[in-house]
Amino acid sequence: MVRYWLLQPTKRPARSNTTTRFPVSASRRLRSSFSVVTPWPEIQPTEQLMQFEILPAGMERRFLLDVMLGKLATYLRICGYDTLYAHEEGIEADDAIRKRASSTNRTLVTRDHDLAARTADAILLHSRHIEGQLSELYNNGLELKLPSQPERCSVCNGCVDRIALDLRPEHAPDTVSDIWQCRECDQYFWKGSHWERIQETIDTV
């Protein structure tokens, strides 16, 4: 039986969104941004206080997002996170999603409460909107910022490389000097209005 917890945030009181985390190992600790832990579904606070261990510097966070979180997958990829999207992977059944998360050593992010409750270390989001979803992840300790240059393809999650100017595509604006190309799907990327809109959205979190 999977053991999971409802986390009650005790910092950043101005934020109304809460994120439910489902640890299964006693060795995992709750992040310092949470101090009151309540076994689900009992909601009464307990006196038990725990602390999350912060991931060591350089340790990569890898995610698998369910079919309801396609836009969030784009944002996480642009922020540099290795993020698979269940719909692109051709998996929709809960058991298949759970198996993929486990086999690829990824944290499942989902809006499906039952799926989260049955998946080790899943993150349950409540908001239907990208701003709310980003806020919930931020409140759960995830750093959200754009890298100095693109690192991952927002389309397929592949890594991107800067290309030489003589290889620039014809449809790239003349004002653009830096262009990146995905190693997997060959899509081109540059910092344009889309990059700026994503930055504006992240700034609201």
Q: Classify residue 32 by burial, with Cβ atoms within 10 Å: 0-12, 13-18, 19+.
A: middle
3 state SS of 67: coil
| pLDDT tens per residue, range 22-75 | 444 333 333 333 323 333 343 333 222 222 334 444 446 899 999 999 999 999
DSSP per-residue codes, 26-50: TT--B-TTEEEEEESS--S--S---
Smallest Cα–Cα separation from 120: which of 41, 26, 43?
Answer: 26
For the chain, give every domain's residue range.
62-139, 160-203
According to the model, what pLDDT value does residue 61 have? 85
Q: Provide the whole-model pTM.
A: 0.72
| pLDDT tens per residue, range 78-118 | 999 999 999 999 999 999 999 999 999 999 999 999 999 99
